Amino acid sequence: MSAAELTRSVWDVNADDYSADAPFGERLRFLLRYAILAPSSHNSQPWRFRIEGRAVHVAADESRWLRAADPDRRELFVSLGCAVENLVVAAEHFGFDPAVSYPDGGTERIATVTMDDGASERRPAAPFDELTARYTSHERFDGTPLDSPTRNRLVAAVEGAPVALHLVNGDAKRAVGELQAEADRLQMKNRAYREELGHWIGLGALGHSWLLARVGQAVVAHLDIGDREAAKNSVLVESAPVVGVLTTASDDPAARVGTGRAFERVALRASAAGVAVHPMSQILERPALRRRLASELDFDGATPQHLFRLGYADEAAEDTPRWPVESVLDGE
């Protein structure tokens, strides 16, 4: 993996360049240009793809697994689920009828997306145009509440998925803010975590704003910035009208991939509605805090898999870079 290959030009993908007459493999390669625009933890993009006939196999790239932040690989699988969902949304847009299977329970081969040719009767699962418009917002939100129709639209995005979306506000959200501050302090005390974050910031994966931000320099300089991160993130949680939490009944790789798929659907719908989205993973990265979150928010025994702020921000973020399709495609 090399920093030189990371590029923002991937965002210029244009649906008009898709040719329905092109050979099947070429068309599937085109769909992958949308898959790689998916969000991922630290923008690590831990995916590998292989095209075989009508199938696209999705596997994990363990060299991009965040060992310090994500020892149990939850974020790895959630990130892969986001890429699977982008692939599905793009496939539906171009008239395929994609079917997703999890061949070995989703450990080695994370998922296989098989494309039936011919126009699907179903409506697209999410707005296709948002694949190139969605981004993560790190801004303070302006406090405007999410009205009921918007909340309902986001909850409907996970209908039929083995995943529940909880929209948290009021006292429960205050509890999330306190846990977030605790998690930031703990993570920033962890040298391996700081060094890993510094590595990804240094690569430029998180974009210029991160690279130039004080946090980037401080991480590299090994300062104890836990208190500053905690204070900053408390304000961010406070500014959000709602925190979203996705939970699953089981806690296996397939549930986590399913979480990523559901999250990406929510993120694409939020993008269409002008709602900003900001994942915050630190609570879930600390097992004791993850358990406290589950008990304080009373998820009825379900496991929290992904947490994110939802709200309205004034400024759009700049595009983050990606490794292009050719560098994540096997067997070509």
Interface contacts to ligand FMN, rule CB under 6 A: 39-43, 75, 78-79, 82, 135-136, 138, 206, 279-282, 317, 320
Rounded Cα distance between 201 and 39, Å, is 16
| Min CB(282)–ligand FMN separation in Å | 6
Question: Around 132, how many Cα atoms within 13 Å sit in the side-chain half-sphere?
Answer: 15
| Min CB(84)–ligand FMN separation in Å | 12
Answer yes or no: are the C-beta atoms of 268 and 127 closer than 8 Å: yes
Of the pair 96, 193, the CB lying nearest ligand FMN is at: 193
| Min CB(138)–ligand FMN separation in Å | 5
Of the pair 96, 259, the CB lying nearest ligand FMN is at: 259
Q: Which residues pair with 193 in a beta bridge?
A: none
Rounded Cα distance between 221 and 22, Å, is 51
Which alpha helices (H) appear in 204-252, and where do they start and end?
A: 208-212, 214-220, 226-239
Tokens of 36: 């790689």
Phi, psi values for residue 93, rounded to 5°: -60, -40
Of the pair 39, 241, the CB lying nearest ligand FMN is at: 39
| Min CB(172)–ligand FMN separation in Å | 19
Tokens of 228: 């500053």
| Min CB(206)–ligand FMN separation in Å | 5
Of the pair 75, 196, the CB lying nearest ligand FMN is at: 75
Closest CA to 320 of 181, 137, 70, 61: 137
Of the pair 31, 51, the CB lying nearest ligand FMN is at: 31
Answer yes or no: are the C-beta atoms of 269 and 248 closer than 8 Å: no
Of the pair 296, 319, the CB lying nearest ligand FMN is at: 319
**In this chain, which residue has its C-beta nearest to ligand FMN?**
39
| Min CB(317)–ligand FMN separation in Å | 6
Rounded Cα distance between 66 and 71, Å, is 7
Of the pair 39, 106, the CB lying nearest ligand FMN is at: 39
Rounded Cα distance between 66 and 60, Å, is 12
Rounded Cα distance between 8 and 319, Å, is 7
- Report how far Cα 146 is from the mean position of its chain's Cα atoms: 21
| Min CB(78)–ligand FMN separation in Å | 4
| Min CB(52)–ligand FMN separation in Å | 26
Answer yes or no: are the C-beta atoms of 100 and 111 closer than 8 Å: yes
Rounded Cα distance between 311 and 81, Å, is 23
Of the pair 93, 138, the CB lying nearest ligand FMN is at: 138
